[in-house]
Amino acid sequence: MVGGSTPVFDEIIVSTALMNQVLSFHDVSGVLVCQAGCVLEALSQYVEERGFVMPLDLGAKGSCHIGGNVATNAGGLRFLRYGSLRGTVLGLEVVLANGTVLNCLTSLRKDNTGYDLKQLFIGSEGTLGVITAVSILCPPKPSAVNVAFLGCPGFAEVLQTFRTCRAMLGEILSAFEFMDAECMKLVRLHLGLSCPVQESPFYVLVETAGSGPGHDAEKLDRFLEQVLDSGLVTDGTLGSDERRIKMLWALRERITEALSCDGYVYKYDLSLPLDRLYDLVGDLRARLGPSAKRVVGYGHLGDGNLHLNVTAETFSASLLGTLEPYVYEWTAGQRGSVSAEHGLGFRKKDVLGYSKPPEALQLMRQLKALLDPKGILNPYKTLPTHI
């Protein structure tokens, strides 16, 4: 997404594709230890056969490697439920720039013996070391999954629906995604999908994953009754069989695909405080006027993560100039993040300063100098050009 794994100039590519072995799996604790080149989908299948799930799931699961997931601190669809890889990764084996093998591949849930060195390598995009093996905690597989697709009259109601959802669904809530009316128009227009509820300014997808099918359906029914009665939601539909769940998820998951049919796309992946999450979309519509074809907002609302996209017939430097640095400055003004889950890579490394103070950039530079003094690990990436 940000060119973190794309060679730019004179890099040598190291592939871990042949390091694809599961080293151990413990079927009581759910701890999986595997080599870095294991494909996420293969691992998912392996642990699901044993009654567990991987704590992360991504669109790219069919091709991405677990080592890369950890190196980029991947977020994805299960983040709301199982949290960050910083909590679920238990251990790593890493090769340092000087060739030293740092073996921190423990499988312990708790280990307070000194500094937690593995954290240095999670999310550092390969710039501090090469991850060669991963130990990760897998949660038990939920026996029931349900999805509700809802229409909301305004963004304030979307937020209130989220609040009600957390209170009434609690521990079984596994996703809370939103999209605006423009997104729905896009998936209709370009992909021929149809809206399963009454037309609304906003749509919400709620997923539950739990251990009691009857209980979970009952909780979801009660929640739906509550949000409909109170006017937070104007219309809603439920899905519990696999086909319908997939159909409802497609409305949200295929937005990226629909966008690419709409013209040139300017993409932003922002973390913002929940109450201001959608304000930038309105601001930009007013700012850009007819110079943009469409300004749309959707994303992982439960995680405070907005995917903001602007389309136009073709690329235009003047439109880009109206968008940037405005979008980054706006985000910085809310103490948001200019890269919620995609990282910095090659393309975003120079906007880091909008989300991190100079003292942090300085410490990043010092850590890079300590661990990779010759700058041989994923050069030209992650660290700003001038700091």
Applying the rule CB under 8 A, the residues between 223 and 242 that interact with a copy of itself are none
Q: At closest approach, how far in Å is the CB of 222 from a copy of itself?
A: 9
Q: Is 50 in the site for a copy of itself (CB under 8 A)?
A: no
Taking the C-alpha atoms of residue 342 and residue 348, their distance in angstroms, rounded to an integer, is 9
Select 17 or 51, whichever has its Cβ closest to a copy of itself. 51
> In the set 329, 370, 373, 375, which binds a copy of itself (CB under 8 A)?
370
Which of the residues 103 through 142 are near a copy of itself (CB under 8 A)?
Answer: 103-104, 106-117, 119-120, 122-124, 128, 140, 142
Select 153 or 196, whichever has its Cβ closest to a copy of itself. 153
Q: Is 26 in the site for a copy of itself (CB under 8 A)?
A: yes
- 155-169 and 213-229 helices, crossing angle to 10°: 150
Taking the C-alpha atoms of residue 46 and residue 225, their distance in angstroms, rounded to an integer, is 39
The sign of the torsion formed by the CA atoms of 365, 366, 367, 369 equals positive
Select 236 or 336, whichever has its Cβ closest to a copy of itself. 336
Q: Is 99 in the site for a copy of itself (CB under 8 A)?
A: no
Q: Is 148 in the site for a copy of itself (CB under 8 A)?
A: no
The DSSP call for residue 123 is T
Which range of residues in 38-46, 68-76, 227-235, 242-250 is near a copy of itself by CB under 8 A? 68-76
The sign of the torsion formed by the CA atoms of 163, 159, 351, 295 equals positive
Q: Strand 31-35 and strand 130-137: pairing? A: antiparallel
Q: Which two tokens stand for residue 71?
A: 């190196």
Taking the C-alpha atoms of residue 308 and residue 355, their distance in angstroms, rounded to an integer, is 17
Q: Is 15 in the site for a copy of itself (CB under 8 A)?
A: no
In our burial notation (b when 16+ CB lie closer than 10 A, e otherwise), range 149-170 reads: bbbbeebebbbbbbebbeebbe
Q: Is 125 exposed, middle or buried (0-12, 13-18, 19+ CB in 10 A)?
A: buried
Select 53 or 281, whichever has its Cβ closest to a copy of itself. 53
Select 4 or 239, whichever has its Cβ closest to a copy of itself. 4
Q: At closest approach, how far in Å is the CB of 115 from a copy of itself?
A: 5
> In the set 6, 21, 27, 59, which binds a copy of itself (CB under 8 A)?
27
Which range of residues in 39-47, 160-168, 249-257, 315-323 is near a copy of itself by CB under 8 A? 160-168
Q: Is 246 in the site for a copy of itself (CB under 8 A)?
A: no
Which of the residues 307 through 366 are near a copy of itself (CB under 8 A)?
Answer: 335-344, 348, 352, 355-357, 359-361, 363-364, 366
Please choose, from the candidates 165, 163, 242, the residue with its C-alpha nearest in 3D space to the C-alpha of residue 208. Answer: 165
Q: Are 384 and 352 in contact (CB under 8 A)?
A: yes
Q: At closest approach, how far in Å is the CB of 165 from a copy of itself?
A: 10
**Distances from the Cα of 82 to the Cαs of 51, 287, 300, in angstroms?**
16, 38, 14
Q: Are 118 and 185 in contact (CB under 8 A)?
A: no
Give, in degrees to the nearest 5, the angle at Cα 283 between 279 and 286.
145
Radius of gyration of the chain (CA): 22
> In the set 149, 155, 162, 268, which binds a copy of itself (CB under 8 A)?
162
Q: At closest approach, how far in Å is the CB of 51 from a copy of itself?
A: 7
Q: Is 86 in the site for a copy of itself (CB under 8 A)?
A: yes
Q: Is 217 in the site for a copy of itself (CB under 8 A)?
A: no
Taking the C-alpha atoms of residue 94 and residue 104, their distance in angstroms, rounded to an integer, is 8
Q: Is 172 in the site for a copy of itself (CB under 8 A)?
A: yes
Which range of residues in 24-32, 145-153, 225-233, 250-258 is near a copy of itself by CB under 8 A? 24-32
Q: Report how many residues bind a copy of itself under the rule CB under 8 A.
A: 93
Give, in degrees to the nearest 5, the angle at Cα 344 between 340 and 347.
120
Q: Is 271 in the site for a copy of itself (CB under 8 A)?
A: yes
Q: Is 275 in the site for a copy of itself (CB under 8 A)?
A: yes
Q: At closest approach, how far in Å is the CB of 300 from a copy of itself?
A: 8
